[in-house]
Structure 1
């Protein structure tokens, strides 16, 4: 008898919306006081400075605005788990767009303030099921907002790494949604039940082909914290580095995820 197909995880649209708004507000508040010298600091994102990174965070949210300005697709032709694997193809265009935003919006605080004002009005005007054309295909607005939690939490971590002492807080619901989406993406990339990946307190998934366990502790277990998981999934941290720094524990012959990571890069 074939194994039962895993059910797709669902997200509460109201909680997702609140999480996106809260994480964006936390970023906007933190970067409002950055000096020109801080905005010129390098980041771990290639040639981007903090200024480009902040502009990109705004751009990641206004992707909702741009998608809603387009005609609604006739039908949904993608699912939420397609999104993590579709982003790499858009990297050159994203870089160009980000640099254009920097040129057009020298006052980043005003730029972010405008986004914070407009986003609630925009979301009030459209139902959660409204289809959007995204880089992954046609997705409901509610699902696309889940992808924004990944953008916001990952880039919040990038900001904190770039600016000593900035310490932008993470909204718990935004971090939870981002962690779960990328954990589910791993399970989609390597389907199976031989390995259990735990990211407490937000996610547990089973993945990797091999013998199934039926009770008790599985023979292959990986465990890490949410921020380490986001860094691994997005290429900010390699599997070898995480193991060497004791950021992740792994036991069992099928617990090495190095060949499966990153999921996004």
Structure 2
């Protein structure tokens, strides 16, 4: 199981500066030129997104440690924390596996296209492979609370297409 790195990098953007764990540094450092194409999170919200994901993960781990049912872990946090955590984690996924071949949807807060492969045609903007997840399922996977196989076996993942398994990319 992967964990978030404790090593931090100092990031400066305009007049703002902050530190973030190394798992996010690469994503943010490469985001500059690609940011205008990225709709899942705004550049100005990267710090808030990072903080929200860390907050969600800490709350989820505490819950998971106190219950035998990791597949139902869903911390009670404000809606904006959930939204930012989802958007930021999708941003990290998109940076880890860029491409137009698979659309990952986490309604209502975001969707990204990842992995190389067949693109959508001009008449249908949806690629041939689509994965839909509820926010709590996505965040459990992104944070390593559960595995792809566990969530798939529990019926929590809706996936259409040949590339319907993101286990090699998760946890983030």
TM-score, L = length of structure 1: 0.47
Q: Which residue does the alignment assign to 2:16?
A: 130
* CA displacement at 1:144 relative to structure 2: 2.8
Q: Which consecutive unaligned segments of at least 5 residues does structure 2 have?
A: 9-13, 30-42, 68-73
Q: Partner of 1:227 in structure 2? A: 136
| Contact 2:101/2:116, CA 8 A, preserved across alignment | yes
Aligned to 2:127: 218
CA distance in 1, matches of 2:128, 2:46: 34
| Structure 2 counterpart of 1:177, from 84, 109, 118 | 84
Q: How many residues align?
A: 142
The correspondence for 1:149, drawn from 52, 71, 83, is 52
Which structure is higher in strand share? 2
Q: TM-score scaled by structure 2?
A: 0.70
Structure with the larger helix share: 1
Q: Choose which of 150, 167, 172 in structure 2 pairs with 1:258.
A: 167
CA distance in 1, matches of 2:18, 2:75: 30
Q: CA deviation at 1:216?
A: 5.1
Distance 1:218 1:158, change over 3 A: same
| Equivalent residue number for residue 3 of structure 1 | none
C-alpha distance in 2 between matches for 1:190 and 1:262? 13
Structure 1 runs not aligned, ≥5 long: 1-44, 46-84, 94-127
Retained in 2: the 8 A contact 1:208–1:254? no
Q: 1:121-178, CA deviations, whole angstroms, 9 ceiling, x for partnerless residues?
A: xxxxxxx9421244446999964333111111122222333346xx852211110000
1:241 aligns with 2:150: yes
C-alpha displacement at 1:198, in angstroms?
A: 0.6
